[in-house]
Amino acid sequence: MPDRSSAILPPDLYIEINGIKTRYWQMGRSGSPVILLHGGNGSIEFWLYNIAALAASHRVYAFDMVGSGRSDYPDGSYSIEYQAEFLAGFTIALGINSATLIGNSMGGAVALQFTRSYPDRVDKLVLVDSMGLGQEISWGIRLITLPAIVNLLRPGRWMIPGMLRSNFYNRHLLPPEWIEFRYPIFAIPDRNRVILRLGQSNFNLAGVRADVYQPIVASLPQIDRPTLIVWGAQDRIIPVKHAYVAAAGLPHHQLEIFPDCGHHPYLEYPAKFNRLVLDFLNN
């Protein structure tokens, strides 16, 4: 099974979704569809060490969510509802009638919202350190709701060690190649405008906005799709107790906590994550 040492960088593809140029990757020629949803301000590079492994038996898609990566950065709201509707547009444009959704962080909240709106278009769910299950979130995320803070952001390589410490339990597990793949996306100019809109649409200084997470949590008992919940035990962005909120609410779930792991289990332990997800998909 592919691991970090045999990662394949898929070619960038582009499609227009509701007038927005959207970058995506696609791998795999057979099997059921799987869509990978990265977190806020992320990009498809986060799935570099997973897409080929999952594509061995599935048709796998990953796209730069609206306002992220190399997709367009339109003005407007970046609410979870808006992003879920954008996901709906992506599936329609590519002729995907139903799929398994694998979402990390904000991508997990988008997957849950999409499932609430379009339950018949979801086969299974994989929630990876998902947003939308409670108010608590790191102070770094809360501060991107403040224009004065966001306007001071000047992306540079000096920021990388601090960001890695926040997001990963052991940043030394990440190979230098991943940082080099990801850095040009991180350093795209004029991202501050979208970061602020994304922050204000979903957070405040108290954490995740109540109108974002409370409807999702209240709807969990009605989500009847088989769901795999994966969490890093030492997540500094979204606390592991939110994994247990998901487990308490979702009627058909499997819970897996990765020890010695932060906010991105699929990057810290890709081989373990890929095996777990493939077993879940193929069971």
Residue 153 DSSP SS3: coil
The per-residue pLDDT for range 24-43, each reduced to its tens digit, is 999 999 999 999 999 998 99
- The whole-number pLDDT of residue 279 equals 98
- The whole-number pLDDT of residue 111 equals 98
CA distance 159 to 239: 23
- The whole-number pLDDT of residue 2 equals 40
For residue 232, pLDDT over 90 is answered with: yes
Architecture of domain 4-282: 3-Layer(aba) Sandwich (3.40)
Side chain identity, residue 55: A
The per-residue pLDDT for range 104-115, each reduced to its tens digit, is 999 999 999 999
Tell me the average pLDDT across 184-189: 82
More reliable by pLDDT, 52 or 152: 52
Tell me the average pLDDT across 122-136: 98
Nearest to 97 by CA among 59, 64, 65, 128: 59
Lowest-confidence region among 82-91, 170-179, 195-204, 222-231: 170-179
For residue 70, pLDDT over 70 is answered with: yes
φ, ψ for residue 36 (rounded to 5)? -100, 125
- The whole-number pLDDT of residue 156 equals 72
Percent of the chain with pLDDT over 90: 78
- The whole-number pLDDT of residue 6 equals 55
Domain extent listing, the chain: 4-282
CA distance 33 to 123: 9
Tell me the average pLDDT across 223-250: 98
Cα separations in angstroms, 228 against 85, 207, 283: 23, 25, 12
**Facing residues of 61 across strands?**
26, 35
For residue 155, pLDDT over 80 is answered with: no
Lowest-confidence region among 41-45, 188-192, 256-260: 188-192
- The whole-number pLDDT of residue 236 equals 96
**Facing residues of 253 across strands?**
227
Tell me the average pLDDT across 222-227: 98
The per-residue pLDDT for range 93-102, each reduced to its tens digit, is 999 999 999 9
